[in-house]
Chains A and B, each alone.
Chain A
Amino acid sequence: MIPATFEYHRPDSVPGAISLLQQHGDDARVVAGGHSLIPMMKLRMAAPGHLIDLQGIADLRGVEVGDTIRIGALTTQSEILAHAGLAEAAPILIEAARQIADPQVRNLGTLGGNVANGDPGNDMPALMMCLDASFALAGPDGTREVAAREFYEAPYVTAREEEEILTAVSFARPPRGHAYEKQKRKIGDYATAAAAVLIAADGGRVTSASVAMTNLADVPVFSAAAGAALVGTDCGPDAVRTAVAAMQGDIDPVEDNRGPVEFKRHVAGVILARAIARAWSRA
Chain B
Amino acid sequence: MTKMHLTLTVNGEAVETLAEPRELLIHVLRERLGITGPHIGCETSHCGACTVDMDGKSVKACTIFAAQAQGAEITTIEGIGTPDSLHVLQEMFREHHGLQCGFCTPGMITRAWRLLKENPTPSEEEVRFGMAGNLCRCTGYQNIVKSVLAAANELNTVKEAAE
Contacts and interface: CB of A to CB of B under 8 A. Distances in A.
Interface string A35-50: 1001101110000000
Given A51-B21, A187-B132, A188-B46, A104 B65 contact: no
Interface string A153-195: 0000000000000000000000000000000000110000000
Interface string B72-86: 000000000000000
Nearest to A76: B57
A35 B48 CA distance: 13
Range class of the A interface residue count: 20 to 34
A42 B63 CA distance: 9
A4 B57 contact: no
Interface residues of B, number: 29
A53 interface: yes
Contact of A34 (B22, B44, B68, B132): B68
Contacts of B46: 188
A103 B1 contact: no
B71 to A, nearest CB: 11
B67 interface: yes
Interface in B82-128: 111, 115
Given A4-B22, A35-B45, A107 B68 contact: no
A134 to B, nearest CB: 29
A60 B48 CA distance: 28
A27 interface: no
B133 A108 contact: no
Contacts, number: 84
B21 A188 contact: no
Contacts of B68: 31, 34, 53, 55
A78 interface: yes
A35 B133 CA distance: 13
Interface string B4-24: 100000000000000011101
A8 B4 contact: yes
Nearest to B44: A39
A42 B60 contact: no
A103 B22 contact: no
B67 A188 contact: no
A202 interface: no
B59 to A, nearest CB: 5
A108 B44 contact: no
Nearest to B56: A107
A43 B43 contact: yes
B64 interface: yes
B147 interface: no
Interface in A218-264: none
Contacts of B65: 3, 8, 34, 38, 51
A102 interface: yes
Contacts of B115: 103
A6 B66 CA distance: 13
A107 B58 contact: yes
A7 B58 contact: no
Contacts of B21: 5-8, 51
B3 to A, nearest CB: 11
A6 B43 contact: no
Given A103-B130, A108-B57, 10 more contacts: A5-B21, A6-B22, A7-B1, A39-B45, A78-B57, A103-B132, A103-B133, A105-B60, A107-B58, A108-B63
Q: Which 6 A-B pairs have the closest CB atoms?
A: A102-B133, A8-B21, A187-B132, A1-B43, A104-B133, A8-B67
24 contacts: A1-B43, A2-B22, A6-B1, A7-B21, A8-B65, A10-B67, A31-B68, A34-B65, A34-B68, A38-B63, A39-B43, A39-B44, A42-B24, A51-B67, A53-B67, A53-B68, A101-B133, A102-B133, A103-B111, A103-B132, A104-B60, A105-B63, A107-B58, A187-B132
Interface of A: 1-8, 10, 31, 34-35, 38-39, 41-43, 51, 53, 55, 78, 101-105, 107-108, 187-188
